Amino acid sequence: MKKKIHILFALCISLVLSLSYLPHTGLIPGMGIQEAMAQHAGHGGAPAPSDQPQQPKKQPEPSKEPPMEQVKEQPKEQPKEQSKEQPKKESTDKPAAEEAPLVEVPLDKQQLIGVKTAAVTIKSIRQTIRTVGRIEYDEKKLATINVKFESWIEKLHVDYVGKYVKKGDPLAEIYSPELFATQQEFINLVKWKVQSSEVKNETINNMLTRDSEAIVEAAKQRLRLWDISDEQIQAIAASGKPMRTLTIHSPVNGTVIQKTAIQGMRVMPGEKLFDIADLSSVWIVSDIYEYELPLIHAGDTAKITMSYFPGKEFTAVIDYVYPVLASETRTAKVRFSIPNPGGRLKPQMFTNVEIKVNMGKRLVVPQDAVIDTGMRQLVYVDKGDGYFEPRDVVVGLRSDGMVEILKGLKAKERVATAATFLIDSEARLKGIVK
């Protein structure tokens, strides 16, 4: 009997301990020891012994973890909201992409601010290129005077720069010991030729004549290579005496533009004495920017004006477009040839050059219709009833107040040409243009 009582008492104690631990597990929230004992008694269990002290009732600690039902419900609600919102966004975006934004400017306000419109047309345009030119010497008509042997200048016939000389005029007289000896040798050969012709033996006479003629001709050729003319050679042969000084003559008509010869100076072979330029025609050299070079071709006509000839216009044709670009100015040179009767055009004078290039028919609008923001070009197309549509365009050439439109407009459309900045301000205030 005692053994059964002890077993029953041990079961009661283990039940009490297990019930006191259940509130901490969360399976039976809010149940303490007394409640567990009352529940056990209601099911026929043994009451707790009287000698055991009753423990105070503990308040259940709030669980930090969310309930399982709430955790399961949250992910179900979110995808439903997202699925409902997505089709709404798509429906609102489609009309905005289809309809172009318009700026409303009532007709009475258009009159107040001075709005004007013009039609987009197709017309022939000409690109005008304006630049500055410089008058320079015609390089084809330049000549330099020098000698091919060592000599000394004994007399100068041209003693200042700028003197006009004709072809054949004397420039200077020079003395050369080498030239004097060559002349003496030539004279002796001429005398020997005359003497050989007097031999009576015909065979010997023919041999000496052939040899003397060959030697004399070689001596003449040597004098010619030193720029001594045939007239001077004949004069030396006729006189039988060498000339102490040799006269240098001008080979062309022109103006002496440089002189280094001084009377009494020593001249070495190849040293320059005079530069002569024929100013009957001159060159005009102009600088053309590299973006304008595709429009320039040889044979194009240009109009040339000068400030020192007011009201006077010259017409010139492009002779040559230089193939080299200046790295400092990013320009290439273009050359014109122009006659200079009377020598009124002086080298290093400046001129105004205007070249008009026919570009054919293009789609154009007035220049005032295009607003250039720096990042894009914008026009406002008149849609009627006081509405304007902002539209991006791609521009091309600009000529005579007109702008070529490469993309963005069609012929016969109308665009605003006056008060465009006021229309643009209105569009930006309303958020139509950003």
Average pLDDT taken over every residue of the chain: 81
| Pairing between β-strand 371-372 and β-strand 377-384 as defined by DSSP bridges | antiparallel
Helix (H) or strand (E) segment spanning residue 128: strand 121-137
User: Which pLDDT value is given to residue 2?
Assistant: 59
DSSP H helices in 147-256: 177-196, 202-225, 230-239
Q: Hey, is 43 helix, strand or coil? A: coil
Helix (H) or strand (E) segment spanning residue 332: strand 331-339
* pTM for this predicted structure: 0.60
The answer to whether residue 106 scores a pLDDT higher than 60 is yes
Domains and CATH numbers, the chain: 1-97 (no CATH), 103-125+361-429 (2.40.420.20), 139-277 (2.40.50.100)
Q: Report CA torsion sign: 24, 28, 29, 32.
A: negative
User: Which pLDDT value is given to residue 34?
Assistant: 53
What percentage of residues in the chain have a pLDDT greater than 90? 43
pLDDT band at 434 (very low <50, low <70, confident <90, very high): confident
DSSP 434: -
Distance CA 388, CA 370 (A): 14
The answer to whether residue 342 scores a pLDDT higher than 90 is no
Helix (H) or strand (E) segment spanning residue 424: helix 420-429
Average pLDDT estimate for 209-235 = 85
Q: Which residue has the higher pLDDT, 212 or 73?
A: 212
Q: What is the dihedral of CA 45, 50, 52, 58, to 10 degrees?
A: 70
CA dist list (Å): 89 to 85, 94, 97, 223, 311: 7, 9, 13, 103, 71
